[in-house]
A = this chain, B = another copy of it.
């Protein structure tokens, strides 16, 4: 089969690779129907995360089951499946609490920009749809496997409640999906922080009621202007830098909550400042598996359309161009078709 391999910053190649095989009785092999490039893939691509040797890339996928190990009974060959970027047995103590992305047997997927993918812990990781979904739903189902699931978690971690004011920091695919989540959870006012016209437009389409273009202290001042001077009930931090985390904390009212889903890079939180902010803070890799059945239903019912975050579609063999387009911010998110 063929798949993407990163060799060095800026150097992603489309190469011939060995076909994946069942290695454990808990594995499944899927044929990739759609995959894509994630904002987090840009960290190593930009040289901001060590790469080590050449290795495959990609952790988002929907596909058709090709083969399953002897212990996999929940899905079977021929079924269309959606999974999470983090595998989970869905039976351990953390999974039982709904924190499948802290599964005691968790593995992070990393070989999905390819024709075929081996899914560890397939029984607890994959969710099959009742039938093969219509073509129009496929990008949104793919989005559910990561960015929509992550935006959903950001909104839950920020404790968005009906009638609340929510702020979304970050206008990448996850932030935009966070807008959808805040709307679905009943936020009355949704303030998207964005300075890119095309992203502002999509945020508004997804349910944002206000756009704030300022950043840093000016951005926080604008949020306060819009929230009785005290800050928002819920803030979704969807970037992962020290600056965005500060902006999120300062935009939150005392007693409000920050959900942070951008993997923090060089972020230190001052204990005393957090203390006096009275803000609640929860982050982490989203337990997407918990949300999959619900989010798949919302997609298939036509309630949410997170697939709109894909504004560039390429064939899988053009994966290198897919990275470049996102790196240069010519695309929000690149969809790849094997």
A157 partner residues in chain B, CB cutoff 8 A: 280
For this complex, 5 residue pairs linking A to B, each with C-beta atoms less than 8 Å apart, are A97-B253, A263-B272, A267-B271, A268-B270, A278-B283
Q: Are A277 and B284 in contact (CB under 8 A)?
A: yes
Total interface residues on A, using CB and 8 Å? 42
A272 partner residues in chain B, CB cutoff 8 A: 263-265, 267
Which A residues from 109 to 132 make CB contacts under 8 A with B?
none
Nearest-Cβ distance from residue A124 to partner chain B, whole angstroms: 16
Which A residues from 182 to 216 make CB contacts under 8 A with B?
none
A300 interfacial contact with B, CB 8 Å: no
A283 partner residues in chain B, CB cutoff 8 A: 271, 274-275, 278
Q: Are A279 and B282 in contact (CB under 8 A)?
A: yes
A93 partner residues in chain B, CB cutoff 8 A: 228-230, 253
Copies in the complex: 2
Interface of A is mostly: mixed
Which A residues from 275 to 297 make CB contacts under 8 A with B?
275-285, 287
A338 interfacial contact with B, CB 8 Å: no
Nearest-Cβ distance from residue A254 to partner chain B, whole angstroms: 4
Q: Are B284 and A263 in contact (CB under 8 A)?
A: no
A255 partner residues in chain B, CB cutoff 8 A: 94, 97-99, 102, 287
Shortest Cβ-Cβ A-B pairs, 6 listed? A267-B271, A264-B271, A102-B254, A280-B282, A278-B284, A99-B254
Nearest-Cβ distance from residue A99 to partner chain B, whole angstroms: 4
A301 interfacial contact with B, CB 8 Å: no
- Additional A-B contacts beyond A93-B229, A97-B254, A267-B271 (4; CB < 8 A): A94-B255, A267-B270, A268-B269, A268-B270
A279 partner residues in chain B, CB cutoff 8 A: 282
A101 interfacial contact with B, CB 8 Å: yes
A152 interfacial contact with B, CB 8 Å: no
Q: Tell me the nearest residue of chain B to A269, going by C-beta.
A: B269
A282: contacting residue among B253, B260, B264, B278, CB under 8 A: B278
CA distance A269 to B279 in the complex (A): 14
A36 interfacial contact with B, CB 8 Å: no
Q: Are B229 and A278 in contact (CB under 8 A)?
A: no
CA distance A254 to B86 in the complex (A): 15
Q: Are A94 and B271 in contact (CB under 8 A)?
A: no
CA distance A176 to B98 in the complex (A): 31
A299 interfacial contact with B, CB 8 Å: no
